Each structure stands twice: as C-alpha cells, then as structure tokens.
Amino acid sequence: MKDFNGKLAVVTGGASGVGFAIGEALAKQGAKVVLTDIEQESLENSTALLANQSLDVFCKVADVSNIESMQELASWCDTEFGPVHLLFNNAGVAPAELLPIWDTKPNDWQWAYGVNVMGVLHGIQAFVPRMLAHGEESRVINTCSGNGAFINLPSTPIYTSSKASVSSITEVLKLQLEQADSNVKVSILFPGPHTVRTKLFSAERNRPEELARDPNAPEHPISSVEDMLEMMSSMGIEMETTEPEEVASFCLSQIQEGKYWINPINEKSEQAFKDRVESITSRSDLPNPNIF
C-alpha cells in the first residue's frame, strides 16, 4: 500500500501511545482514521486533539476482548464510513508480574490473554471477512513484541507467552491469506528499537473487576517507563527509550514497502535471538537472554 490517502484505518488501543501515534500519522497522510479503545474519556480527548488539527479522525469505544463489541465496531465502520482498508490490532496489556510462573493466578492469565491474544483474534474475525468481501487493497497489522516472538524473558511469563501467541497467529494469517490469493496482506509490528514511552506499564488501570489482581500479590515497583529507567539506572544500566511517533513513522514506511516484519534493528536483542536459535539448532543448553 503505497498511499494512505482516502484509506479507512481502524486502530485499537488508539487512545494513547503507539496506537494514537499511528492514528495521527495516518491522518496526516490523508487517511480517515477510527481510533478505538476501552478508555472512553482518554479516547475522546485524544480524538478531539486530532480533530482540532482538521484531521479526519473519529472514535468509538470498543473492548477487544469481547467479540460482540468488535463485531459491533466493524458494522459501525461499514455503516458510517464504508470499507476498512487498514486494521491495526494494537491494543495490549502487561500484567504486574513479580511471581514465579507456578505462583501466578488465573485472573492474570485470563486478563492478559483476553486482550493480547483474543483481542487480536477478535479483530481478525470481525474485520478480515469484510476486507475479503469488499476486495480492495487491505492490510492487517498486529502489534507484537520481541519478548515472546524472538526471546522469552523469564521475568514476564504471562506477557511473553501471550506475545508468542500473537506472533504465531500473525504468521499463520499471512500464509493462509497468501494461499487464498487474497487482497488482504499482513504485517507484524515490533515497537522499538528500545522500550517505548507508553502507558503499558500502567495497564492495570483498565483491568476489569471480575479479573482483579490478587490483593495479596506483592506491589510491583514499576508503573511507568520512568520507574523502569530509574530501576535500571540503580543497577548501573542506562536504558534508551523510543517515542511512539518514531514507531508510527517507521511502521507506515514499512507498510508502504510491503514489509511483513516491521522490526527496527536492536543489536543486543538480535544477538539474544541468535543465541536462542543457535541453542535450538545445536541442541545446546538454552541461554538466559541478555538484552541489556
């Protein structure tokens, strides 16, 4: 897709962070954008910010973990605007993980998988059949993470495994659509190359009551990127960060080039991935991934 002008794009997790930055970048290139999120006030404020710039941006609250909510969103888009050409399955959460995997609670898994995995699946199921039916050039972009797709950090078993699922789902979707000689193409986005300044670390703010965190679980020391930077600095590690706008710019440029892998270069992460692959092919012991 060389030109976004006149295209209709839907971005989940669009109230802030990478989702908002992608929506803004698309609108500035002439796309009509629908931002969707579960945070109504933040979503409306973000949409108004872009609309005040005379950008073609609209919003609708939707819960990616609920298939009926996503089907309703897809129907609303069709009715209000017509065919959707770009779907960014971007919404994601990171539970406050501190415990070993054997002490984790079902609610933590159900919440994270409901958003990170089922949210991607629901987006695909709600929008891809409609994309196939209208027959116009279209693309699905799923936001993933190198933590899960390429390496598995032992500190975040729930998040890591959920993103491993996203990687597999996206790859299978790409191959199936290619086998069908479809008009719908697929990309997988890895925000980076460094920790992105988003609200991911405070995702607990949107956690539903029925999947509440164990009140006896230890309090997590990190609730923002700044907390992460401070903690790493106390360990003598100076972390670099990436702004959401940089992710958005890189993402759109890669879509225009027709890329499946939207993955900026990070040498330390790539070396950790190579070490893991080497352990697989050589049948040697699995190394502890070192990304710092």
List residues with catalytic annotation.
159
CA dist 18 and 11 (Å) reads 10
**Could you give the C-alpha distances from 183 to 48, 95, 170, 248, 260, in angstroms and in order?**
33, 36, 16, 23, 15
User: What is the C-alpha to C-alpha distance for residues 141 and 216, in angstroms, rounded to an integer?
Assistant: 38
* Contact of 28 with 251, CB cutoff 8 Å: no
Whether the CB-CB separation of 98 and 218 falls below 8 Å is answered with yes
Residue 95 tokens read as 């539970």
Cβ–Cβ < 8 Å for 48, 73: no
Cα–Cα dist 46/44, whole Å: 5
Helix (H, G, I), strand (E, B) or coil at 79: helix
CA distances from 170 to 68, 225, 265, 269 (A): 21, 27, 20, 21
| Residue 108 contacts residue 213 (beta carbons within 8 Å) | yes
Is the omega angle on the peptide bond into residue 193 within 30 degrees of 0, that is, cis?
A: yes
**Cα(11)–Cα(59) distance, rounded to whole angstroms?**
9
> H-helix or E-strand containing 105?
none
Q: Which residue has the tokens 């159900």?
A: 110
Q: How far is CA 139 from the centre of its chain?
A: 15
